Amino acid sequence: MPLARCLILTTALLLAACSPALNWRVVALADAPLDLMLPCKPDRAVRDLAWGRQTLAVSMVGCQAEGATYALAHVALAQPQDAATVMTDWQKALHQQLQMADAWQPLPGQAFVLPGTLELPQARQLQWQGHNGTGQPVYANARWFARTEGQQVRVYQAMVLSPAPLADGVLQSFVKGLQLR
């Protein structure tokens, strides 16, 4: 199953049992040194996904509030040099998920570097407008970043998908809530 399809299905599964709107809470990840703020009670999942010639365990946490999906996915890589490729693959998968008509353009958007993360060209923040599976407009606001953990590197994707642009305060609460431990 293609990466984009697996990520879409896994995100949908995560959202099956979410709580009411904008009840912000700190969510500590048990399998990664990161806390984040979510506006609803999160669901969690780990899926083994075929990624190139390897299989990676992708951990996800997310929820849905006021029609928007808030999600964070991360993966630990044994080969740190793979971080750039994984971030690019995630960006391509989102581009495909949004049914973007234009050709994939690598690395649009602005650099996104949290304190303690790697300054890679693929560490980006992107805002795109596209369409969901039923053809309805969807706005994506996503960030990718990576951090060294001992001999490995962990790559993160933080994303909000919404049917309309989010208020700046809501989006900033999500972004500022990304805190590495």
Mind giving me the DSSP string for 39-51?
A: SS--EEEEEEEEE
CB 32 within 8 A of CB 154: yes
pLDDT in tens, 130-153: 999 899 999 999 999 999 999 999
Give the sign of the dihedral formed by CA 164, CA 165, CA 169, CA 174: positive
The yes-or-no verdict on residue 15 having pLDDT over 80 is: no
**Distance between CA atoms of residues 33 and 28, nearest Å:** 8
> What are the tens digits of pLDDT across the range 25-65?
999 999 999 999 999 999 999 999 998 888 999 999 999 99
Q: Which of 71, 92, 63, 69 is nearest to 178 (CA)?
A: 71
Mean pLDDT of 152-158: 98
19 or 64, which is more confident? 64
CB 43 within 8 A of CB 62: yes
Backbone phi and psi for residue 127, each to the nearest 5 degrees, phi listed first: -130, 120
In the predicted model, what is the mean pLDDT of residues 148-167? 96
CA 102 to each of CA 127, 144, 177: distance values in angstroms, whole numbers, following the listed order: 15, 21, 32
Q: Which two tokens stand for residue 46?
A: 């780990």
% the chain with pLDDT above 90 = 74
Confidence of residue 77 (pLDDT cuts 50, 70, 90): very high
Residue 52, both tokens: 């190139």
**In the prediction, which pLDDT does 21 show?**
59
3-state secondary structure at position 7: helix
> Is the CB of residue 38 less than 8 Å from the CB of residue 55?
no
Q: What count of other Cβ atoms lies within 10 Å of the Cβ of residue 108?
A: 12
**pTM (two decimals):** 0.86
